[in-house]
Amino acid sequence: MKAMILAAGKGTRARPLTTILPKPMIPLIRKPIMESIVEHLRQYGFNQLMVNTSYLSMDIENYFRDGHAWGVEMGYSYEGIMEGNTFVDNVLGSAGGMKHIQNFSGFFDETFVVVCGDALIDVDFDQVLAFHRARKSVATLVMRPVSADQVNKYGIVVTDDQGRVSKFQEKPKIEEALSNNANTGIYVFEPEIFDYIPDGIEYDIGSQLFPQLAELGIPFYGIALPFQWVDIGSLQDFWHVNRMILNQELPHYPMPGIKVAPQVWCGLNVKADFSTLDIEGPVYIGSSTEIQPGVTIKGPAIIGAGCLLEQGAVIDQSFIADYTRVGGIAHLHQQIIFAGKVISPEGIAIDLSEAGLNWLIDDKRRKDIITAEKSLFNEFLHKDMLL
């Protein structure tokens, strides 16, 4: 069966993580969001997957390649152009991206599924497809109720008692919302859907295609199901979802690694004498990480692969990216260390090098480890040169 994963967006609400990663590649413990989506689709027999890409497209394509490692076939539809030596994004919108693929090869020649590349889901696709086919629907979306104060964050769906969509509101004001059934970004379509998507322009499923279908009276249905749907749209969502995984609140996302103590999991080849550490779970420690005696780790916390935590360091409710060296006097409380930056839960980022803190926290692979003395010397030398 065929499916499409929407992966072309810039993920601006998840910055600064998405300054160097496309949102579908944001890591949850040890793997990108989109990897879990691919695995879930394969579980239900979807073995031909098209992915539309644009922003930082090669990060996605180089990771998944042809999909064989996941037991599927994967292809990509790049939305952009090359000007000189620079790639320029030219996104077509969710519906426009579908139409671009269809115009190229007629790929969607049967009932197909479309999902967003930035949400963890465990929806029962067999149930969704049965509902769709029983109603001879052209388009079916999966809904889930949200609280009244959250309706302005989602596409809101109004249906009759048979599930037929009579109105679709894209992120309405709270006082104007006509229901609390939210669009989850999980869709089933028939190839006929392309009759309602214009060629060559940016066109969106939620804000343009669905209101049009409802207005025209096209067979368009919504099914409300109880399932796990964790949208990772912002930096706060990143924090929340990783904590849910660490606390084992997502049954379809088991903790990786080996459990070495209550609420403590490790990857392979971790170098640590746990009797000399103060660890309070839940904590995940990536493979080939070294933790020196006297380190304190208070969960929920994630330590990436290949890290070095020096004696005396305190990691408190923080996320440490792969290959990070944390100096012994560092005390990190609710911080993300990622791509040479320290990032607060509110998204405030400090460049460690620009702030002169790379003697304390840096890439462990760096040969010229910067000491505090050298950092201060360089700072004074630089000031002297400016005079």
Q: Quickly state the pLDDT bin for 370 (edges 50, 70, 90).
A: low
| Amino acid of residue 305 | A
CA dihedral of 86, 87, 88, 91, whole degrees rounded to 10: 180
Which of these, 60, 70, 63, 62, lies nearest to 8 by C-alpha position?
Answer: 60
Q: How far apart are CA 13 and CA 294, in angstroms?
A: 37
Say how many C-beta atoms besides its own lie within 10 A of residue 231's C-beta.
Answer: 17
Q: Looking at residues 327-344, what average pLDDT do you find?
A: 92
pLDDT at position 254 is: 87
Which CATH superfamily, name and number, covers 2-231?
Answer: Spore Coat Polysaccharide Biosynthesis Protein SpsA; Chain A (3.90.550.10)
| Amino acid of residue 153 | K
pLDDT at position 231 is: 82
**Structural fold of domain 255-375:** UDP N-Acetylglucosamine Acyltransferase; domain 1 (2.160.10)
Tokens 């990771």 sit at which residue? 63
Residue 77: which residues within 8 A CB-CB, separation 6 or more?
50, 51, 52, 53, 97, 100, 101, 104
Per-residue pLDDT tens over the stretch 298-312 = 999 999 999 999 999
124-138, 156-170, 176-190, 315-329: segment of lowest average pLDDT: 156-170
Say how many C-beta atoms besides its own lie within 10 A of residue 185's C-beta.
Answer: 22
Q: Looking at residues 81-107, what average pLDDT do you find?
A: 90
Per-residue pLDDT tens over the stretch 8-46 = 988 787 787 878 889 999 999 889 999 999 999 999 999
Per-residue pLDDT tens over the stretch 195-218 = 999 998 999 998 899 999 999 999
- Residue pair 72/49 in contact (Cβ under 8 Å)? The answer is yes
pLDDT at position 377 is: 35
Q: Quickly state the pLDDT bin for 383 (edges 50, 70, 90).
A: very low
- Residue pair 98/79 in contact (Cβ under 8 Å)? The answer is no
Which of these, 280, 275, 274, 281, lies nearest to 289 by C-alpha position?
Answer: 274
pLDDT at position 369 is: 57
Number of separate helices (H) and strands (E) present in the chain: 7, 32
Distance of CA 333 to the CA centre of its chain: 23
DSSP conformation class of 152? G
Q: Where are the domains of the chain?
A: 2-231, 255-375
DSSP conformation class of 164? B
Decide: helix, strand or coil at residue 52: strand
